[in-house]
Amino acid sequence: MLRSAIECATQITEDRTIVVLGANAMELSATVGDCSGTLAFNRDWNEGIASSIRLGVGLLPVTCAAVMVLLADQPAVTSNDLKALVSAWSDEPQCMAAAFYKEVVGAPAIFPRRSFGELASLRGDVGARLLLQREGNRLLRVPMPNAGIDVDKPEDLLNLEQVGQWC
C-alpha cells in the first residue's frame, strides 16, 4: 500500500514527494528505496500522526505554495483522484482542498502556505481534519469516494480483497 501511495503521489508531484515513515521505518524504507522524492524518518511516531505532519511540513522548501497530505492507508485513492484535488485547488489556491467522502472531509487534502504554521503546531494523534473543518466556505470539497476506503487493521485489507475492491 505504501509503495502504491508513493507512486500515485509522484505522478502528481514528480520528485517533490516527501515520504514520512514512522513505526517499522527501516523495514518499510527497504520497500520504497528506489522511489523518487525525499524519505524522512519520524522518530516521534509514537505521538501519532501530528508528528509526521510536522516533520513533513518542516522539510518543505521555502518556495512551496502548498502541501498535499496523502495517507498510505487509503489504497483505493488513484492518481486521477489526486489530479482532481490539485485541479480544484489550482482554481482557488488561497483555499484548502480536501477529499469529501462518507459525509466528511479529510485526506487527501491540500493546504496552502498560510496553513503551514497551524500544521506545524499539531500535537498528538490528531490529523489536520480540524483545520479543514474550520475553513467553512474557504474549503473546496472534492468528491472522492475512494478516500473512504481505509485500511487500519489487517482484517480491513482482507475484507477489501474478498469483495474485490482492492488487490
Domains belonging to the chain, first-starting first, are: 2-163 (3.90.550.10)
Bridge partners for 13 per DSSP: none
pLDDT above 60 for 154: yes
**88 burial class (0-12, 13-18, 19+ CB within 10 angstroms)?**
middle
- Nearest CA to 129 out of 82, 76, 69 is that of 69
User: What SS3 class is residue 107?
Assistant: strand
Mean pLDDT across 13-37: 82
Cβ 79 vs Cβ 123: under 8 Å = no
**Residues 87-121: pLDDT tens digits?**
999 999 999 999 999 999 999 999 999 999 999 99
Phi, psi at residue 142, to the nearest 5°?
A: -105, 115
Task: With cut-offs at 50, 70 and 90, classify the pLDDT of residue 167.
Answer: very low
Q: What is the pTM of this model?
A: 0.89
pLDDT of residue 159: 59
What is the C-alpha separation between 99 and 140, in angstroms, rounded? 9
**Residue pair 58/31 in contact by the 8 Å Cβ criterion:** no
Cβ within 8 Å of residue 118, ≥6 positions away: 131
Q: Dump pLDDT digits (tens) for 47-100.
A: 999 999 999 999 999 999 999 999 989 989 999 999 999 999 999 999 999 999
Reading the block at residue 101, the C-alpha cell is: 467522502
The beta strands (E) that lie in the chain are given as 18-21, 38-41, 66-69, 96-101, 104-112, 139-143
CA dihedral 29, 47, 108, 140 (to 10 degrees): -150
Q: Is residue 14 left, alpha or beta, with left meaning phi > 0 and alpha meaning psi from -120 to 50?
A: left
